[in-house]
Amino acid sequence: MVISYKTNAKIEAHELSELFKASGIKRPVEDLNRVKNMIENSNLTVTAWDGEKLVGIARALSDFSYCCYLSDLAVDKEYQNQGIGHELVNEVQKLIGDESNLVLLSAPEAMEYYPKIGFEKAGNAYIIYRKK
């Protein structure tokens, strides 16, 4: 199996929804219009492909000069533990450059994963949670 990585590749809402389901990440997978908006309003995506099958994504918002928010990092469970998530993050880092911080909010079950791929825990973050 050879995994290929693509930057800002066109993906359909149903493809991303299926990936979210297969990865276990909690996202509004039944609301395809919302998933479509998530894709269209991101300004940086790196995707992982096994042939024509979408198996991973790093979806982000960045100004490419100071900060990048990694809003999704998802890999199909059948493809996890093969370095795909790490490579997706590496590709994002290359694209945003050395002057940008890469930040994310982690799901509780992923808290142990992120330090393994280079993230440092920050204790100075705040959030206003969405209403829906």
Residue 51's CATH number: 3.40.630.30
Q: What is the DSSP letter of 114?
A: G
CA-closest candidate to residue 44, choices 107, 113, 114, 91? 91
pTM above 0.75, yes or no: yes
- 56-69, pLDDT tens digit by residue? 999 999 999 999 99
Considering the domain boundaries, does residue 63 fall inside one? yes
Considering the domain boundaries, does residue 56 fall inside one? yes
Considering the domain boundaries, does residue 7 fall inside one? yes
Considering the domain boundaries, does residue 69 fall inside one? yes
Considering the domain boundaries, does residue 75 fall inside one? yes
Considering the domain boundaries, does residue 93 fall inside one? yes
State the residue range of the domain holding 14.
3-117
Cα 107 to its chain centre, rounded Å, is 12
Split into its structural domains, the chain has a count of 1
Considering the domain boundaries, does residue 126 fall inside one? no
Considering the domain boundaries, does residue 84 fall inside one? yes
- 83-94, pLDDT tens digit by residue? 999 999 999 999
